[in-house]
């Protein structure tokens, strides 16, 4: 897939293995899980399907065989209760990783996450901690529709005390998941389902990608595109196309939505003077809205024009592929909005735009790979 | 009532209940002074449940409580001075003034959580039991909850999982008859006893007179024994009565939601009075000993209130601390 070529692995910190392989996001996540369980016996995994034949899209493959049902805990269909169980285990010294195959299911768990996970360390002034990771999956596929695909990150990111992470590449997915599991804080880890299929360079062995905020994944000087999750992939595609028209877009992977560190985005906007946000979630009250608010408050003088917000329209996600095409913004959406932001005449962009449009047309709207021909 | 066979234990139960009662009566007496500026939910009339259960626990066992947590906290050994300071919003409170009366914790004493959302702490107790089982500590977790929480779905999720994994957890259903103003018979079918909630999940359930501290202790002891032997969870239904109002400590809402006759009937079954009469009748508690006990407990309570009054308020400068652990 495109991302394989475009997204290079971050160089690992010194002193760790530098060997890298091309892996899928799912395999990168599985490696992270296995490494953490091997290194720390307090780490255990729980969720629906963690021991089933498909092993959560392969991300828990091999764990049951190695660690047994005591540390690979198949759970009843009781999302809220199991979240409380995970919190209790975390408070009592364990390091659970709880998995929901859809973020939509985690709506049932908001009481536990908001009232207990987010507040316990603050409430007890650090006497008790909640070293919990909740992996949950967002993103579209095979007509799953309005209650099976939602990008609910801003619901979690508005809660003080939670850490909210959205990996964009296989290498980051592994490093950020390791960092999340090793964190003493409750981490909501939102995986776009297409990330599981994205292939990219992934360093071998243990490494941790700090959960310290946004990072520039492609330098540029004409505009800043601050993107989350899969929209980083779309933003890099758009930046490639813009480059062929002589426009240099800087792409920032937001990565950590809470606690949010705006500095890398502010620094970028101070260089470029222009901001576009590309959000996997809804526009209204979304992460993109928050980023624009912060940049407007703190770097208003650096802006040469109004910021641009790209996200989902204020509608539930439709099932039909005929409707999904209009619903989800792509690299082409970003390309067009960037051209308008820069005030460039369409004639100057036409060749690059046509080429990008042809590329986009080849990519299915409802599956991450053309070879996928059934629900996944 | 049978003769008291274990006199030191009976005296211990009485002392624990009396201490809780004196603390809560003092809170009620002084609430109108407006220095305790948070909701307080008193356990007056329900002390035998907390005292009886805690008497069956080891100090390393863990409890998870509710908005009505004073008795559970104190009976388990939670620090009294830190509790009173917390209710006063002081820096020396058990949560530094961040939680108030409904969020009492004292991890050193095994008081791990008190949650004001009904049912919220139940699965957390189950998770602690899972952790104890995984680590092989031999510990037991207790989930305290009321009759109201027995209507929450999360209880059933918790019972199912605890039964499935045979977790060392004791579910203590403290049935005080009311959810704020609404009696149990308006909320649950009369033909289904509360203990059936446990049996429906294959969990042994026992119903005890929740105003008989000795009976609660004995039943809790059986349940804790099963949990420690790896035989899994137990549901303990303790029938008791909320003598005070749901929340306002110094008021009586004479609005017809319960009758004077009902209140009087339960006042006559007050767990503290009952045990006191028995201890006196059997010659275990002398007038002198009782006076000395009251003196020492009143001194302790006065000192806790004085400490709370003298303690500083937390500084807003530090309010962000510990939001994220470094």
The DSSP-derived string for B181-226 is: TEEGGGTS-TTS-TTHHHHTTT--EEEEETT-HHHHHHHHHHHHHH
CA distance B163 to A100: 22
Q: Which of A70, A86, A125 sits opposite B96 (nearest CB)?
A: A125
Measure CA B311 to chain center.
26
- Is B10:B214 a contact under the CB 8 Å cutoff? yes
Give B263-321 pLDDT, tens digit per residue.
999 999 999 999 999 999 999 999 999 999 999 999 999 999 999 999 999 999 999 99
DSSP B27-50: HHHHGGGS-S-S-----TT-HHHH
Q: Six-digit token pair at B9?
A: 């234990």
Which residue(s) pair with A199 in the sheet? Answer: A24
Predicted local confidence at residue A97, as pLDDT = 98
Residues of chain A in contact with residue B161, where contact means CB-CB under 8 angstroms, are 75-76, 78, 81-82, 85
Predicted local confidence at residue B190, as pLDDT = 93
Predicted local confidence at residue A18, as pLDDT = 66
State ipTM: 0.96
* Distance from the B48 Cα atom to the nearest Cα atom in chain A, whole angstroms: 26
Taking phi first (over 0 means left), then psi (-120 to 50 degrees means alpha), and beta for anything else, what does residue B99 get?
alpha
Average pLDDT, chain B: 96
Kindly calculate the radius of gyration of chain B based on its CA atoms and give it in whole angstroms.
19
**Average confidence (pLDDT) over B78-102:** 98
- Is A163:A213 a contact under the CB 8 Å cutoff? no
Contacts of residue B115, defined as CB under 8 A and 6 or more positions apart, other chains included, come to: A115, A116, B64, B65, B66, B67, B102, B103, B121, B124
CA distance B287 to B275: 15
Q: Which segments in chain A show pLDDT lower than 50?
A: 1-9, 11-12
Residues of chain B in contact with residue A185, where contact means CB-CB under 8 angstroms, are 324-325
Residues of chain B in contact with residue A75, where contact means CB-CB under 8 angstroms, are 161
B53 CB within 8 Å of a chain A CB: no
A88 CB within 8 Å of a chain B CB: yes
Residue located via tokens 């002198």: B288
- Is A93:B146 a contact under the CB 8 Å cutoff? no
| Percent share of chain B, pLDDT over 70 | 99
Interface of A with B in 102-131 (CB under 8 A): 111-112, 115-116, 120-129
CA distance B71 to B64: 12
Exposure pattern of A28-48 as b/e (b: 16+ CB <10 Å)?
bbbbbbbbbbeeeebbbbbbb
């Amino acid at each position: 897939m495109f991302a394989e070529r475009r997204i290079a692995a971050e160089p690992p910190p010194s002193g760790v293995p530098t060997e890298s392989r091309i892996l899928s996001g799912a395999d990168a996540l599985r490696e992270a899980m296995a490494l953490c369980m091997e290194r720390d016996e307090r780490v255990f995994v729980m969720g629906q399907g963690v021991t089933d034949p498909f092993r959560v899209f392969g991300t828990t493959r091999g764990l049951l065989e190695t660690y047994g049902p005591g540390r690979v805990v198949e759970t009843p269909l009781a999302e809220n209760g199991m979240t409380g169980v995970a919190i209790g285990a975390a408070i009592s010294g364990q390091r659970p990783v709880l998995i929901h195959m859809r973020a939509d299911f985690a709506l049932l768990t908001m009481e536990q996450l908001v009232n207990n996970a987010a507040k316990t360390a603050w409430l007890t002034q650090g006497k008790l901690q909640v070293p919990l990771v909740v992996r949950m999956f967002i993103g579209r596929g095979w007509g799953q529709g309005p209650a099976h695909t939602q990008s609910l990150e801003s619901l979690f990111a508005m809660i003080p005390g939670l850490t909210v992470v959205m990996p964009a590449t296989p290498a980051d997915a592994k490093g950020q998941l390791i960092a999340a599991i090793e964190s003493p804080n409750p981490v909501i880890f939102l995986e776009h389902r297409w990330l599981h299929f994205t292939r990219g360079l992934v360093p071998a062995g243990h490494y941790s990608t700090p959960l310290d905020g946004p990072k520039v994944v492609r330098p540029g000087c004409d505009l800043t595109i601050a993107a989350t999750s899969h929209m980083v992939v779309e933003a890099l595609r758009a930046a490639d196309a813009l480059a062929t028209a002589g426009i240099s877009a800087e792409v920032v992977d937001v990565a950590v939505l809470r606690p949010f560190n705006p500095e890398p985005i502010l620094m970028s906007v101070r260089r470029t003077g222009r901001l576009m946000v590309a959000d996997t979630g809804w526009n209204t009250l979304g992460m993109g809205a928050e980023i624009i608010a912060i940049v407007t408050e703190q770097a208003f003088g650096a802006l040469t024009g109004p910021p641009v917000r790209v996200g989902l329209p204020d509608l539930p996600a439709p099932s039909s592929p005929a409707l999904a095409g209009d619903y989800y913004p792509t690299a082409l959406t970003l390309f067009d909005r960037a051209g308008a932001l820069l005030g460039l005449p369409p004639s100057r962009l036409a060749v690059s735009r046509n080429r990008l449009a042809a590329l986009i047309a080849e990519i299915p709207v409802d599956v991450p790979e053309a070879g996928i021909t059934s629900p996944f | 009532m049978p003769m008291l066979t274990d006199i030191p234990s009976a005296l211990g139960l009485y002392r624990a209940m009396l201490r809780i009662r004196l603390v809560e009566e003092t809170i009620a007496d002084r609430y109108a002074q407006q220095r305790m500026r948070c909701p307080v939910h008193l356990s007056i009339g329900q002390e035998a449940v907390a005292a009886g259960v805690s008497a069956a626990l080891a100090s390393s066992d863990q409890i998870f409580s509710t908005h009505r947590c004073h008795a559970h906290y104190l009976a388990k050994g939670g620090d009294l001075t830190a509790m009173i300071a917390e209710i006063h919003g002081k820096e020396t409170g058990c949560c530094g003034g961040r939680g108030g009366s409904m969020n009492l914790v004292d991890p050193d004493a095994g008081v791990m959580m008190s949650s004001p959302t009904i049912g919220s702490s139940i699965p957390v107790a189950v998770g602690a039991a899972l952790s104890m089982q995984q680590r092989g500590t031999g510990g037991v977790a207790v989930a305290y909850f009321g009759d109201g929480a027995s209507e929450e779905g999360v209880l059933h999720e918790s019972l199912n999982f605890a039964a499935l994994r045979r977790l060392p957890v004791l579910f203590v259903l403290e049935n005080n008859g009311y959810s704020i103003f609404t009696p149990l018979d308006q909320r649950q079918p009369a033909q289904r006893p509360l203990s059936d909630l446990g049996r429906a999940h294959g969990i042994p359930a026992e119903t005890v007179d929740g105003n008989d501290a000795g009976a609660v202790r004995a039943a809790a002891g059986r349940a804790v024994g099963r949990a420690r032997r790896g035989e899994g969870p137990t549901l303990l239904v303790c029938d008791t009565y909320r003598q005070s109002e749901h929340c306002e400590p110094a008021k009586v809402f004479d609005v017809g939601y319960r009758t004077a006759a009902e209140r009087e009937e339960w006042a006559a079954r007050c767990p503290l009075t009952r045990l006191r009469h028995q201890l006196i009748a059997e010659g275990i508690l002398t007038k002198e000993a009782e006076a000395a006990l009251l003196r020492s407990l009143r001194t302790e309570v006065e000192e806790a209130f004085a400490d709370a009054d003298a303690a500083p308020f937390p500084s807003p400068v530090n309010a962000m601390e510990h939001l994220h652990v470094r």
